[in-house]
Structure 1
Amino acid sequence: MAILGMSGGRTSPGTGAGPTPSRPVFWVAPLLYLAVLLAGLTAAAHNSSLATARTAAFVVGLLLLLLLERGPVRPPLALLAARLVLIVAVAALDDSGLSRALLVLVPFTAYFAFGRTAALALTGCCVAVVLALYTLSEPAWYADPEYVSDLLMLLIGLVLALSMAAVAIGEQRGRARLEEYAARVAELSATDERNRLARDIHDSLGHHLTAIAVQLEKAAAFRGHDPHAADQAVADARRSAGLALDDVRTSVRALRDDRAAPFSLPAALAELVRELDDGRIQASLQVDGEPYDALGADGAALTTLYRTAQEALTNVRRHADAGRVTVSLTFGADSARLVVADDGRGFRPGAVTVSQGFGLLGIQERARLLGGTAGIDSASGAGTRITVEIPRVVPETGA
């Protein structure tokens, strides 16, 4: 009966009625039928008294059983009953005695199609059928060691078949759960990636497009009485468009290659401050501590601080109506801290609309993903102060 120790086919997660029935591996039953056929033909060849018609009927019975294996995954009870009748008939026609082993296929198949309860019930039926045949052929069979041995072997085969079916079903359900979990992880990963792309587009392109819009408005306003200032504004708008294109190319490279290009955060912040300091807004940058090139394994923390400053300064330009902005960057032993403060009109956080608050939400999400903190302090008429602190991850060195 060792050939019954196999794993079954796939199942899919159930929705209340249990898992979808599955078919055992296709080669198990045919292999057992072949073994019985060879044993029966060998016994017939060594016993010339066996009728040819009986041998032919034995072979036909095995062929019919093989055809039944191609039936539906969940066969009707009539089909299971027909299989049981055929097995009994084949066992009666086979003098080798091996055909009785086919009885284990009935509960084994039922386990996959109908579950454990049906399989146990059919196991009892198979044992009852064998006991009935023994009683009809030899009323005192229990005194014959050969009959008792055959019955014990059948019981062992049935137990092994049910055990292996239970293991196979458990493995199938476990695989189905793993596939479901994998699908959920893939969905969550896709969602995280969409959110990351949304943050990058908002913080990067949004910043440059805002700068372009402001500079073009300035050019239109100064065209009549200060052509030089208007031309400078157009040049600045053209430069912002080039920076936006560079950001797009950088993002595309990042999608194709996970290795982020290193950059100097103080220099990048100085460029943002220079863009903002256009005469109407006085912007300044202060850097404390010894700068380091990376806070994390891939520079994600440096990018988070840069995007935070970018978004904060974009909001200053679009909404704050501020006259002065200060950007402070502090490199500490354990973390880096960025503070962007303005003296603008401020806002009530609860009154911010979804479209206006998306950038602020992105700041908080970026910091949280890296184990950092983000604080946004503002009130009407009191300006706005955004503080982000990201822990530093120091690479481990070998002893």
Structure 2
Amino acid sequence: MDRPRRPVPWAVAVVYGAVLAGGGYWSLIGEAGERPAHLAGFVAVLALLFGVEAVHWRRYPVTMPPGPAAALLAARFALFVAAALLDGSGTSRALFVLVPFVAYFAFGRAVSVALAGICLALIAVAFTVSTPDWYRDAEYVSDLLMFSIGLVLAVCMAAVAIAERDARARLERTLDRVAELSAATERNRVARDIHDSLGHHLTAIAIQLEKASTFSDRDPALAAQALRDARASAKDALTEVRRSVHTLRDGTPPFSLPNALTDLARSADGGEPAVTVTVIGEPNSYEPASLAALYRAAQEGVTNARRHAQAATVTVSAAFDEAGARLTVADDGRGFPAAQAGSAAEGFGLLGMRERVQLLGGQISIDSLPGAGTVITVTIPRTTAASVVRRPA
């Protein structure tokens, strides 16, 4: 897996700048005979270090293979040693804390901690070579302790930066997943709306047109009425599309379930099945999403009675009380085996109906037997429906 760009890229440049300032200042105020050579060499080494960083970011802006990472780390270390030899102030020893810091991003924690230990040991060896009894000098001991603290802080800073980077990457993946799920949910909702609204009206249009074609010669008046009913259904479909577009753009408009059910029954006037509607209770106190789910269930039941059940009558009854809402759609059609209810034999309409109701915490049951008609019962708890609808999207 590719590693993202190294976090806190400014940290290395800040250390280089601080060391350059400290070492340059000492070279200017140090022994007169050493100033020119030491200062020129020291500045040249720091310039090379900045060049190494420029190569790093230009050549490997996002990820770096282990081989080049090890080569650049070795080049940095060699230049750190050169800077330390040219810097009599000792400021350049701070460069070595960058060894475990940089290694952490390229090779992980274990290598970083190991290199931190090696750097600490090398500083101790350098002290021993230059001053054998350095451990008796408080200044040397203090410098070694401060260097140890710097190494610890460098490793910790790298670990925190890595953790933050990984957390941000996980958050981005989570947000992408949420976006995908939201898009899938919206696609399913749009699919249900298209099926439940346009599917219903197109079924009515198809039935009326077939009726007009059948009776065009035998009963011209009935055929003409069928054509008028087909045109009315087409207008209703167009109104439904405009209402859906308005909902998508401006939010959910006011919805009256009794009026919608009355229109549903009126669309069947003069044809089969004959639809009767009964509403008991006060639906206006319910959430719009609950009322819409009940209407879509009634619409699907009536459409299936027209398209498949060969029913003569359909009864739609809705009851509302403090506990919840209950919708029943019963037809006297040919029915189907009970084993098909809730199985893969159900069409997309019944599947969409179940999804709508379940999203609101409700339940749906379908009772049917061959030759005995079909009864669809939908119940939606009032409190559950309200809490689901008001939950942030």
Count of residue pairs brought into register by the alignment? 375
Structure 1 residue 295: Cα displacement: 1.6
Out of 242-251 and 39-48, give the one that drifted further.
39-48
Which of residues 5, 29, 43 is equivalent to 2:26? 43
Q: Is the 8 A contact 1:345 1:380 kept in 2?
A: yes
Q: Which residue is 1:26 aligned to?
A: 9
2:45 corresponds to 1:61: yes
Q: Which residue is 1:211 aligned to?
A: 204
2:344 corresponds to 1:344: no
Superposed CA deviations along residues 284-303 of structure 1, whole A, max 9, x for unmatched, are 111212x232422xx11111
Q: Which residue is 1:5 aligned to?
A: none
Structure 1 residue 334: Cα displacement: 2.2
User: How many Å separate the matches in 1 of 2:338 and 2:143?
Assistant: 82
Q: What letter is aligned with 2:260? A: A
User: How many Å separate the matches in 1 of 2:52 and 2:85?
Assistant: 19
Q: Secondary structure at the match of 2:283?
A: coil
Cα RMSD (Å) of the superposition?
Answer: 1.9
Q: Where does 1:317-396 land on structure 2 (aligned, <5 Å)?
A: 317-348=306-337, 350-351=339-340, 357-393=347-383
Q: Which has the higher helix share?
A: 2
2:67 corresponds to 1:84: no
Q: Secondary structure at the match of 2:330?
A: strand
Structure 1 residue 347: Cα displacement: 1.0
Which of residues 271, 286, 289 is equivalent to 1:300? 289
Structure 1 residue 168: Cα displacement: 1.1
User: How many Å separate the matches in 2 of 1:286 and 1:109?
Assistant: 76
Superposed CA deviations along residues 212-269 of structure 1, whole A, max 9, x for unmatched, are 00001111111112211111110110010011011111111111122x1112211211
User: How many Å separate the matches in 2 of 1:281 and 1:94?
Assistant: 99
- CA gap 1:65/1:155 in 2 versus in 1, 3 angstroms: same
2:268 corresponds to 1:284: no
Q: Which residue is 2:121 aligned to?
A: 128
Structure 2: which 5+ residue stretches go unaligned?
A: 388-393
> Which protein, 1 or 2, shows the higher relative CO under an 8 Å CA cutoff with sep ≥ 6?
1
Q: Where does 1:95-114 land on structure 2 (aligned, <5 Å)?
A: 95-114=88-107
- CA gap 1:103/1:187 in 2 versus in 1, 3 angstroms: same
2:266 corresponds to 1:274: yes
Structure 1 residue 325: Cα displacement: 1.2
Q: Where does 1:238-249 land on structure 2 (aligned, <5 Å)?
A: 238-249=231-242
Structure 1 residue 207: Cα displacement: 0.3
Q: Which residue is 1:4 aligned to?
A: none
Superposed CA deviations along residues 105-164 of structure 1, whole A, max 9, x for unmatched, are 110011111100110111111112111211111111111111111100000000011111
User: How many Å separate the matches in 2 of 1:24 and 1:359?
Assistant: 52
User: How many Å separate the matches in 1 of 2:362 and 2:90?
Assistant: 75
Structure 1: which 5+ residue stretches go unaligned?
A: 1-13
Q: Is the 8 A contact 1:262 1:293 kept in 2?
A: no
Q: What letter is aligned with 1:115? A: G
Q: Secondary structure at the match of 2:254?
A: coil
Structure 1 residue 42: Cα displacement: 1.2
Q: TM-score w.r.t. structure 2 length?
A: 0.91
Structure 1 residue 78: Cα displacement: 2.8
Q: Secondary structure at the match of 1:166?
A: helix
Q: What letter is aligned with 1:36? A: V
Q: Is the 8 A contact 1:21 1:114 kept in 2?
A: no
Q: Is the 8 A contact 2:331 2:373 kept in 1?
A: yes
Q: Secondary structure at the match of 1:263?
A: coil
Structure 1 residue 280: Cα displacement: 3.8
User: How many Å separate the matches in 1 of 2:127 and 2:89?
Assistant: 16
2:221 corresponds to 1:228: yes
User: How many Å separate the matches in 1 of 2:272 and 2:4?
Assistant: 73
User: How many Å separate the matches in 2 of 1:282 and 1:26?
Assistant: 75
User: How many Å separate the matches in 2 of 1:202 and 1:128?
Assistant: 75
Q: What letter is aligned with 2:296? A: R
Q: What letter is aligned with 1:193? A: E
2:235 corresponds to 1:252: no
Q: Is the 8 A contact 2:276 2:316 kept in 1?
A: yes
Structure 1 residue 323: Cα displacement: 1.8
User: How many Å separate the matches in 1 of 2:7 and 2:163?
Assistant: 13
Structure 1 residue 351: Cα displacement: 4.7
